[in-house]
Amino acid sequence: MTSLFGRDFLKEVDFTAAELDSLIDLAATLKLERAEHRERPRLTGSAVALIFEKSSTRTRCAFEVAAFQQGAFTTYLDPASSQMGHKESIADTARVLSRMYDGIQYRGAAQATAEELAEYATVPVFNGLTDEWHPTQMLADFLTMREHAPRPWGDITYAYLGDARNNMGNSYLVMGAIMGADVRICAPRALWPADDVQALARERASVSGARILITESVEEAVAGADFLATDVWVSMGEPAETWAERIEILRPYRLDSTVVRGSGNPEVKILHCLPAFHDASTQVGRTVAERYGMTDGVEISHDVFESPASIVMDEAENRLHTIKAVLVATLARNP
Ligand code: CP
Ligand code: NVA
């Protein structure tokens, strides 16, 4: 396996397809080991700092449980319980944590903060989501796709619908481009990935042979797809007032049963990184349902979310195995 020992994990484009594949392979191996009750701890005595400037369920839990199952210790730092940013610079935080920890996870708004932490840290830094990229999520999604369609990436087609200039839109575009998949990004033009992200994707696609389609047409995007993915229409950190305009322009891009049928593929599978607004059982879901009459889900309809085609819980579980792979590959001397 390609050695990733000591490497940061900040964004997909820092890696080759072979390196990303090696992480997905390692995650599958670790998942099997655990299922067969023969997991070997490779990180005994290690410690990982988890800086969360935005909230999380899956990413935090996956880092904590992955570390624990591999014998490592974690410290959870939220904005209120750390000095970073307000009383201490990013550079100083990185240098201090490097003296005590073997790795640092960062979730926050700016990719520049993750990059700065990595610049000053002497231990690997992992991006647990920024406004620009969600690379650990991509490893989980690609492992999930491989489990449900075990074929070369060149034979995999996926379409991502919704807010495509957020972290998930960017990451799906660039990860698929690196791996050589057939990638369709579907959104109103105002929500397409930024030009520099598109350029990055096209550059990597020219190497991998990936096919890239960025389109406003749902019909065109979903035709023949193996996987359909979406994400929330208003991301963490965006003001609540954004909902009105997003709903207005994204309504035609909702992942509902008509869109699923439009794939023409009876075996098509559904992905969502979660959390999802698929009913009115959350505060935001309820507010949006009442205000905009979307009682049956916002970015994804409830029936699609709960359908047999939905593999979102496999995807959520795979956050654990893939984040464990990142920890083992970058921190373990004997992975
Ligand atoms: N998908 C994901 O990153 O979930 P959390 O925000 O709960 O970590
Ligand atoms: N785009 C979403 C992803 C959540 C995992 C957000 O940034 O809030």
Q: Which CATH class is domain 150-225+227-264+269-308?
A: alpha beta
From 61, 318, 319, the mutation candidate for ligand 1 (largest count of ligand atoms within 8 A of CB) is: 319
Atom of ligand 2 nearest to the CA of 168: 1
pLDDT of 224 reads 98
Return the percentage of the chain with pLDDT > 70, whole number: 100
Give me the residue spans of the domains in the chain.
Answer: 12-133+319-331, 150-225+227-264+269-308
Q: How far is the CA of 42 from the centre of ligand 2 (A)?
A: 31
Q: Which residue's alpha carbon is at the smallest distance from atom 3 of ligand 1?
A: 59
Instruction: Read off the pLDDT band of 235 (50, 70, 90).
Output: very high
In this predicted model, what pLDDT tens digit does every residue of 44-61 receive, in sequence order? 999 999 999 999 999 999
Q: What value does the mean pLDDT of the chain take? A: 97
Report pLDDT for 15: 98
Q: What is the mean pLDDT of residues 283-306?
A: 92
pLDDT for the residue 148: 98
Taking the CA of 322 as reference, the closest ligand is 1
CATH number for the 12-133+319-331 domain, one of 3.40.50.2020, 1.10.3720.10, 3.40.50.1370, 3.40.640.10?
3.40.50.1370
Averaged over 308-314, what is the pLDDT? 98
CA of 167 to the centre of ligand 2 (A): 7
Question: What pLDDT is stored for residue 327 in this prediction?
Answer: 98
Residue nearest to ligand 1 atom 4, measured at CA: 58
Among left, alpha and beta (phi > 0; psi -120 to 50; other), residue 297 is left
**Pocket lined around ligand 1, Cβ cut-off 6 Å:** 56-59, 129, 137, 273-274
Ligand nearest to the CA of 135: 1
Say if ligand 2 is within 6 A of residue 232 CB: yes
Residues 145-158: tens digit of each pLDDT: 999 999 999 999 99
Q: Is 2 a residue whose pLDDT tops 80? A: no
Per-residue H/E/C for 56-88: CCHHHHHHHHHHHHCCCEEEEECHHHCCECCCE
* Average pLDDT value for residue range 236-242: 95
Average pLDDT of 191-199? 98
Instruction: Give the Å distance between the CA of 193 and the centre of ligand 1.
Output: 21
| Ligand 2 atom nearest to 235, measured from its CA | 8
User: Which whole number is the average pLDDT over 289-294?
Assistant: 89
Distance CA 106, CA 164 (A): 23
Q: What is the pLDDT of residue 80?
A: 84
Question: Residue 89 — φ and ψ, nearest 5°?
Answer: -70, 165
- The structure's pTM equals 0.98
Pocket test for ligand 1, best of 166, 231, 273, 326 (most atoms within 8 A of CB): 273
Token pair recorded at residue 8:
């940061």
Same fold, 12-133+319-331 and 150-225+227-264+269-308: yes
Question: Which contiguous run of DSSP H or E holds residue 174?
Answer: helix 167-179
**Which residue owns the Cα nearest ligand 2 atom 3?**
235
**pLDDT above 80 for 1:** no
The 8-class DSSP code of residue 190 comes to G
Q: What is the pLDDT of residues 50-106, one digit of tens each?
A: 999 999 999 999 999 999 999 999 999 998 888 888 889 999 999 999 999 999 999
Mean pLDDT value of segment 280-296: 88
